[in-house]
Amino acid sequence: MKHVKTINEANLKETAETGGCGKCQASCQSACKTSCTVANQKCESKVQENQKLKSPA
Amino acid sequence: MIHKYKLCGYNIVLDINSGAVHVVDELVYDMLDNISPPFEASCSERVANKLSRFYDKEEIITCYEEIRKLHESGTLFSEDDYEKFTEQSADAPLKAMCLIVEQDCNLRCEYCFAEAGKYGFDECAAMDFKVGKKAIDFLIKNSKERKNLEIDFFGGEPLMNFEVVKKITEYARSKGKRAGKIIRFTLTTNGILLDDEKINFINKEMSNVVLSLDGRKETNDRVRKRLDGTGCYDKAISEFKTLADRRGHENYYIRGTFTKYNLDFTSDVYHLYEQGFDQISIEPVIGKPDMPCAVSDRDLPRIFSEYEILAKRILADKKRGKGFNFFHFMLDLDQGPCAIKRLRGCGAGSEYVAVTPDGGIYPCHQFAGFPEYKMGSVLDGEMDKALKKTFAGSHIYSKSDCVDCWAKFYCSGGCNANNYIFNGDIRMPHRFSCLIQKKRLECAIMMKAALADEV
């Protein structure tokens, strides 16, 4: 595209269908525990998948 | 819903419901003020004429076509169809627990939300091992099929009850192993009691550690004081350096607060960086307006501009291959949590609870000591199911201010405790925190756009 550059996968809708496993860390949003936004967390399932891909067979 | 803004020379358009982040030119940016779905096959004459005063007609046609294609592909003006998922995870098992192992503290920070450890109780208390064991038993039992569990040692100052922290850790490790659980421990400390033994224990057992320090010595010592009124900077920073070095600067945060005394907090962030820390979080004091160091609406323009200064400086460093992680600018636009997780964020009162030294169960550490939010006790293992349901029902679609907010999938409705403390209702977001959150998100997304520009 000439006028628009999209910089991410925009996959939020897919994650609604496949997500909700609850494996991820709790994300405290209170100030004293650094006000996590959920957005700065990783998806635990994806992290595990990536680790499997990286590890030698 | 879309949200568009300009920052540091970037025109950014967020498609909220797909999560898409677009960097656009001026024409798209302006055109989006004039068009919305449903889209005709070509740009209306009215819009084309209006824009033709500033832009080339051919460009207007191709621009409209690009916008229409984005809409068709579901990455612009996409539908919000997530509300149907709100029941999913509503009955989720427990997976995280904050143990307030020691209410008392060896510091008297001016902004302490826990009232120097009293938390609304008459006196400070320390958790004994028996209560700690019961808490672990309660967590494991109520975690049902969840395999990954979290335990956070919190205070007051948890290291004032170090022997119990050690015993609880050992007990949880052994009981967790038998139950097939993976337990991650975290500890938050002000550093005053750190020594070799404690540092080695923390680095062996804690998967994460939060180190409390506010930045420059003068910033820190003005508000973080010992009981005798002297500052704690020198001791804390020296121990924190040792601790972070020995854990290879992995999985820790040095975490500070900025107040109205240091609205130039970029200097505090960079001070910590210059001291060798590369995982840094500095955030606004949260306090009622009568707190002398509180920040208020009047300070917002200055705070916003400071976040921009910080973002630009970090960005410049990153482009030079240097720099550090600033917690509130960290964002994963592709591998972040799923939409289900984003509906209700922290899970306080539902997936996450705090336990006080008397065995009381509260939705989180911030609710500790509020009798109306006592959910039960680990001593008899009973928990109020109605309160659990109330918290599970607190999600972005039950918070009226969140439904139409562009930041809802990034922040998930904010902190329920803040909402209650400031507005008397867990579902009524704390406006001041929302405004700051949005500014930080805009900066974080701009940084992603700037880094993508490099590729």
- State the CB neighbour count (10 A cutoff) for residue B301: 9
The answer to whether B257 touches B217, Cβ cutoff 8 Å, is no
My answer on whether omega of the bond before B156 falls inside 30° of 0, hence cis, is yes
Q: In this predicted complex, what is the ipTM?
A: 0.91
pLDDT digits (tens, 9 = 90+) for B71-125: 999 999 999 999 999 988 778 899 999 999 999 999 999 998 877 788 888 899 9
CB-side neighbour CA atoms (13 Å) of B310 = 31
Q: Looking at residue B360, what DSSP letter applies? A: E
* One-letter amino acid of B126: A
SS (H, E, C) B188-250: EECCCCCCHHHHHHHHHHEEEEEEECCCCHHHHHHHCEECCCCECHHHHHHHHHHHHHHCCCC
The answer to whether the predicted template modeling score (pTM) of the entire model surpasses 0.90 is: yes
C-alpha pair distances (Å), B220 with each of B183, B195, B262, B309: 33, 21, 10, 21
Nearest by Cα to B223 from B254, B259, B267, B266: B259
Mark which residues 288-307 of B lie under 8 Å from A by CB: none
Mutate to test the interface with B, among A37, A40, A47, A49 (most CBs of B within 10 A): A37
Backbone angles phi, psi at B256, to 5 degrees: -130, 175
Residues B382-410: what's their mean pLDDT? Answer: 95
Residues B377-404: what's their mean pLDDT? Answer: 95
Task: Say if A20 is an interface residue toward chain B (CB within 8 Å).
Answer: yes
E strands in B25-156: 96-102, 148-155
pLDDT digits (tens, 9 = 90+) for B157-214: 999 999 999 999 999 999 999 999 999 999 999 999 999 999 999 999 999 999 999 9
Strand partners, A5: B23
Chain B residues whose CB is inside 8 A of the A39 CB are 331-332, 336-337, 342, 409-411, 441
- Asked if A3 lies within 8 A of B27 by C-beta distance, the reply is yes
Nearest by Cα to B440 from B258, B217, B211, B249: B258
C-alpha pair distances (Å), A5 with each of B5, B12, B283: 15, 10, 32
Q: What pLDDT score does A57 carry?
A: 52
Q: What pLDDT score does A29 carry?
A: 61
